[in-house]
């Protein structure tokens, strides 16, 4: 058999195998299922977590997955661990999964997180009053595009990050429209294109992330987040609407695991209990990929090489 034909046959066999219905719940003889999502620090961190689990003798498998439905998948036992639970984007879905009793809130990383509208600092020269959201709204014309009907354009993240930006625009009566980027890379492309010509642009961004090192910029200050903002319409500046506020400015970053993770994978569970990513850890994981151009596995290796004294403690 020729080499290419052999590869094709093996490929077909693999495809048939992976098409089998997936058996729910990872048993102790099985592999640890780690989800992968659509932003760089998560992809690199997933690889780091997987490498650490391998070091203690576990088998792992990466499962590309929607970043909201992963919480139900973790409750169902199809996913073992979510190592980057961002409060702003995923707090609601995570809380719901905890309420099933099948997911454990394992720990909170040192990294403090924020996810919200963000602009490069040069815009302050032409739009006075920033970072206040009302000032941004007064400057909405500057952010308009040929096809936005005179409204400012906000470049939002992929829809699975579920940021309720359109609801926020509506609740606050802003003269903006939301355009969801298809990927994190598409957001950076919008920013790069605008920054090259010092043109106004307002995008979804988050911290920790690589972008602060590349461009100075600030988050837009919306009315301060309160849990009631997303559950009680009467709360806030608009008494008839939810989402009339910013996202949490000091959000958590957590690890969640399936409730049987400890029983099924005791060695990995011990490692997971010791893990702790700082803000700079998350920054660097993103930066290796988005600025330095490393592939995800290389970026993970780079992080491991540079932080050996840290993770050695976790796998003791």
User: Across-strand partners of 87?
Assistant: none
Which CB sits closer to ligand TMO, 200 or 248? Answer: 248
Which CB sits closer to ligand TMO, 11 or 280? Answer: 280
Which residues ranging from 25 to 44 are in contact with ligand TMO (CB under 6 A)? 39
Q: Per rule CB under 6 A, is residue 86 in the interface with ligand TMO?
A: yes
Q: Least distance (Å) from ligand TMO to the CB of residue 88?
A: 7
Q: Least distance (Å) from ligand TMO to the CB of residue 58?
A: 26
CA separation, residue 114 to residues 89, 182, 218, 219, 252 (Å): 9, 21, 11, 9, 8
Which residues ranging from 147 to 206 are in contact with ligand TMO (CB under 6 A)? 161, 206
Could you tell me whether strands 152-156 and 176-180 are parallel, antiparallel, or unpaired per DSSP bridges? Answer: parallel
Q: Are 284 and 303 in contact (CB under 8 A)?
A: yes
Q: Least distance (Å) from ligand TMO to the CB of residue 60?
A: 22
225: tokens are 């987040």
Q: What is the rounded distance in angstroms from the CA atom of residue 118 to the CA atom of residue 116? A: 6
Written as one string, the DSSP assignment of 234-291 is: TSSSSTT-S--SPPPTTB-EEEEEETTHHHH-HHHHHHHHH----HHHHHHHHHHHHT
Written as one string, the DSSP assignment of 174-215 is: -SEEEEE-SSHHHHHHHHHHHHHTT---EEEEEESSSHHHHS
Which residues ranging from 109 to 128 are in contact with ligand TMO (CB under 6 A)? 115
Which CB sits closer to ligand TMO, 175 or 247? Answer: 247
Indicate if the alpha-carbon torsion angle 55, 59, 62, 66 is positive or negative: negative
Q: Least distance (Å) from ligand TMO to the CB of residue 74?
A: 16
Q: Least distance (Å) from ligand TMO to the CB of residue 86?
A: 4
Written as one string, the DSSP assignment of 126-137 is: TSTTTTBHHHHH
Q: Least distance (Å) from ligand TMO to the CB of residue 161?
A: 5
Which CB sits closer to ligand TMO, 89 or 174? Answer: 89
Least Cα distance to 110 among 285, 250, 288 occurs for: 250
Which CB sits closer to ligand TMO, 158 or 200? Answer: 158
Residues binding ligand TMO: number (CB under 6 A): 6
Q: What is the rounded distance in angstroms from the CA atom of residue 302 to the CA atom of residue 279? A: 17
Q: Least distance (Å) from ligand TMO to the CB of residue 267?
A: 29
Which CB sits closer to ligand TMO, 7 or 183? Answer: 183
Which CB sits closer to ligand TMO, 161 or 219? Answer: 161
Residue numbers of the site for ligand TMO (CB under 6 A)? 39, 86, 89, 115, 161, 206
């Amino acid at each position: 058999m020729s080499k290419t034909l052999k590869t094709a046959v093996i490929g077909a066999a693999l495809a048939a195998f992976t098409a089998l219905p997936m058996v729910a719940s990872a048993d102790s003889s099985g592999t640890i299922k780690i989800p992968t999502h659509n932003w760089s620090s998560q992809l690199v961190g997933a690889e780091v977590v997987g490498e650490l689990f391998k070091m203690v003798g576990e088998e792992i498998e990466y499962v590309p997955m929607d970043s909201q439905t992963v919480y139900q998948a973790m409750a169902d036992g199809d996913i073992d661990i979510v190592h980057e639970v961002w409060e702003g984007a995923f707090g609601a879905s995570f809380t719901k999964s905890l309420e099933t009793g099948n997911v454990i809130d394992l720990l909170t990383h040192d990294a403090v997180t924020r996810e919200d509208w963000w602009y490069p600092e040069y815009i302050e020269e032409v739009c006075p009053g920033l970072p206040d959201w009302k000032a941004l709204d007064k400057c909405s014309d500057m952010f308009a595009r040929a096809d936005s009907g005179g409204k400012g354009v906000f470049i939002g993240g992929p829809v699975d990050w579920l940021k309720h930006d359109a609801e926020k625009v509506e609740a606050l009566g802003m003269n903006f429209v939301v355009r969801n980027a298809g990927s994190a890379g598409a957001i950076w492309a919008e920013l790069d294109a605008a920054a090259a010509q010092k043109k106004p642009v307002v995008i979804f961004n988050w911290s920790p992330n690589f972008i602060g090192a590349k461009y100075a910029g600030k988050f837009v200050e919306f009315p301060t987040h309160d849990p009631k903002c997303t559950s009680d319409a009467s709360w806030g500046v608009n008494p008839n609407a939810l989402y009339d506020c910013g996202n949490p400015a000091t959000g958590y970053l957590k690890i969640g695991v399936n409730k049987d993770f400890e029983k099924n994978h005791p060695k990995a569970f011990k490692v997971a209990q010791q893990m702790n990513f700082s803000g700079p850890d998350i920054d660097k994981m993103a930066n290796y990929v988005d600025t330095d151009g490393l592939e995800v596995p290389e970026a993970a290796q780079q992080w491991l090489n540079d932080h050996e004294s840290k993770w050695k403690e976790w796998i003791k």
